[in-house]
Chains A and B, each alone.
Chain A
């Protein structure tokens, strides 16, 4: 039954992604991104479906699943036939292409030329042979990534066997407990979200518990292996998404180095198998950034689907943990500020991620999830425990010692949150950047700027939460800050390699490839 439920979950995820985002001719690197996104989207859909059946009092989860599968399958078929009948879309070059061939940008006649080209330009870009690094270096990168991946898989597997109920209190006191209430509670499932057990954080969103409960409903019992396997899936999907997106956007070398950086972060593997929600949250944050970059690479109508999926991923982040709500707010602020700034500059380029249309589609993607969360918070959950009275919060904000303590902890934790051995990954990345520091000014990368701003705002939000926390500040920092950093770590690696990628034998080199030279 688990295999059936798993297949259904993956099918729902894949169909949801490809119903929105499919192309006439498949681009393998983008297909890899879609496949990497599938487990996360499938689990999120599983979660939403289960919660809706609980809300409606309808116990027929299977019927709901089958109905949704048919609906998504139909949408997918319609979308495929539409895409197949579509005339080739007009393309202009992405910012990376512009970087290498500025003459293309913003010229409509050239766009038409490109439209009649045998391949779409983006496809040409993606299929352009990479300029290879020296063979020995490519082999070293590949072997290193393989070693790190095998070590991570080895450790993760042993940890799952050793800690089938997760490791640490949050696994059994919050996430799996909520899953048990949802699954075993029947019509009394709301009992688990009352104020009698406030330590279980009944205000925490339900992506993880409801997805687990959905699997249990197929199995007929609360098998502890399910949360363990879900944890494994999120851990290695995050890694796969990071590698596939970097390979797609910046070439194989950047993908392998990015993957190596994440796979060799011990804390990432530990947390991923602890059955906490921080790695799942990191997956959705990364997915949102990746899709934003994919949206910015395409233009015309093709960027709308990834933009909408980016918004959906952000919504899933908010449905995973309360920190996800902070992330959604930060993303919204960053996108709005970028769109406003571009409007002021009268930038008519159709490709940048921060334009109003992309923003509108992102919001459209996130809206149903935000509505669901709003409903949950308003009707089910009890108020959270992070906010005290306004006067107390103001007093805490105005205490300089708190600012100093939090700053110190942020600085210290940046060097140690990954549980690295000898050299912190953050220092390794900083040193790497300084050595290969680009000598020329980098070209405008709107998605990168928007994402970096989002990351910064989210970090600032974490800082602000510590400022106002009613709990003992040291206790709070000690037991949560490393996990907050971990939530952003895969995205930080992604953005770092998008930034330095052009220095690392990137994929697209227009003008160097004979097939592009013919255009």
Chain B
């Protein structure tokens, strides 16, 4: 038989108006942030362009490249240069895309404008349109 010691008053028995007010205030603070959650969501039908900038653009080129290995890369300069390069790698994986023109096969990515000049060691193999080009090294031939 278990004997209970005299109970301390349970804390919740002492629940005061202050506690209730604190809970209500806390709930209010949380709900304030819930509003933007609901209203600042992207509108239905809006889609970003990662797929258009990577998989779709490079689909034809990818079919002409080896299944694995390393290819070089040349592209535009400026703010979009880095994301353009990353998106090319994303689209062409499992090929490794090295940010260098010193490879037998080199991918060209010029989404805004055609290249003013290409490195002298490269020759153009094919223009896939939409700024996607394939080069090969002159030395490799």
A39 at the interface (CB under 8 A from B): no
Q: Which of A7-15, A24-32, A188-196, A319-327 binds B?
A: A188-196
- Determine which residue in B29, B30, B51 has the highest number of CB atoms from chain A within 10 A of its CB, and name it: B30
A110 at the interface (CB under 8 A from B): yes
* A158 and B42 contacting across the interface, CB-CB below 8 Å: yes
- With known contacts A101-B4, A151-B37, A503-B11, A159–B42 Cβ distance under 8 A: yes
* B38 and A436 contacting across the interface, CB-CB below 8 Å: no
- Whole-angstrom distance from the CB of A381 to the nearest CB of chain B? 15
Count of inter-chain pairs, beta carbons less than 8 A: 208
Residues B11-51 near A (CB distance < 8 A): 11-13, 15, 18-27, 29-38, 40-44, 46-48, 50-51
Residues A482-519 near B (CB distance < 8 A): 502-506, 509-512, 517, 519
- With known contacts A131-B10, A159-B41, A110–B51 Cβ distance under 8 A: no
- With known contacts A158-B42, A196-B96, A425-B33, A436–B22 Cβ distance under 8 A: yes
- Determine which residue in B4, B27, B36, B98 has the highest number of CB atoms from chain A within 10 A of its CB, and name it: B27
* Chain A residues in 8 Å Cβ range of B38: 151, 154-155
A260 at the interface (CB under 8 A from B): yes
Partner of B4, one of A103, A162, A431, A438: A103
Residues A137-175 near B (CB distance < 8 A): 137, 140-141, 144, 147-148, 151-152, 154-155, 158-159, 161-167, 169, 172-173
Partner of B5, one of A103, A180, A266: A103
- Whole-angstrom distance from the CB of B66 to the nearest CB of chain A? 10
* Chain B residues in 8 Å Cβ range of A385: none
* Chain B residues in 8 Å Cβ range of A347: none
* B20 and A161 contacting across the interface, CB-CB below 8 Å: no
What mask results when residues 40 to 65 of chain B are scored 1 for a CB within 8 Å of chain A, else 0? 11111011101100100000000000
Q: Which of A51-59, A362-370, A415-423 binds B?
A: A415-423
What mask results when residues 57 to 89 of chain A are scored 1 for a CB within 8 Å of chain B, else 0? 000000000000000000000000000000000
* B94 and A264 contacting across the interface, CB-CB below 8 Å: no
B3 at the interface (CB under 8 A from A): yes
* Chain A residues in 8 Å Cβ range of B110: none
* A435 and B22 contacting across the interface, CB-CB below 8 Å: yes
* A265 and B33 contacting across the interface, CB-CB below 8 Å: yes
- Whole-angstrom distance from the CB of A214 to the nearest CB of chain B? 16
* B18 and A172 contacting across the interface, CB-CB below 8 Å: no
* Chain B residues in 8 Å Cβ range of A167: 48
Measured in the bound complex, the distance between the Cα atoms of B11 and A192 in whole Å is 57
Measured in the bound complex, the distance between the Cα atoms of B24 and A431 in whole Å is 12
* B51 and A184 contacting across the interface, CB-CB below 8 Å: no
A261 at the interface (CB under 8 A from B): yes
14 inter-chain pairs at a CB distance below 8 angstroms, sorted by A residue, are A101-B7, A103-B3, A134-B20, A140-B24, A155-B40, A162-B48, A167-B48, A181-B94, A197-B96, A418-B33, A423-B32, A429-B26, A435-B21, A509-B10
Supply 19 further A-B pairs (C-beta < 8 A) apart from A161-B42, A422-B33, A436-B22.
A100-B8, A101-B7, A113-B1, A113-B2, A137-B24, A148-B31, A148-B37, A151-B35, A158-B42, A177-B93, A180-B93, A188-B67, A197-B98, A199-B86, A421-B32, A423-B29, A435-B22, A502-B11, A503-B15
Partner-B contacts on A (CB < 8 A) = 100-104, 110, 113-114, 131, 133-134, 137, 140-141, 144, 147-148, 151-152, 154-155, 158-159, 161-167, 169, 172-173, 176-177, 180-181, 184-186, 188-189, 191-192, 194, 196-197, 199-200, 224, 253, 257, 260-261, 263-266, 269, 418-423, 425, 427-429, 431-432, 435-436, 438, 440, 502-506, 509-512, 517, 519
Leading 8 A-B pairs by shortest Cβ distance: A185-B94, A428-B29, A435-B22, A162-B42, A188-B68, A180-B93, A103-B5, A165-B50
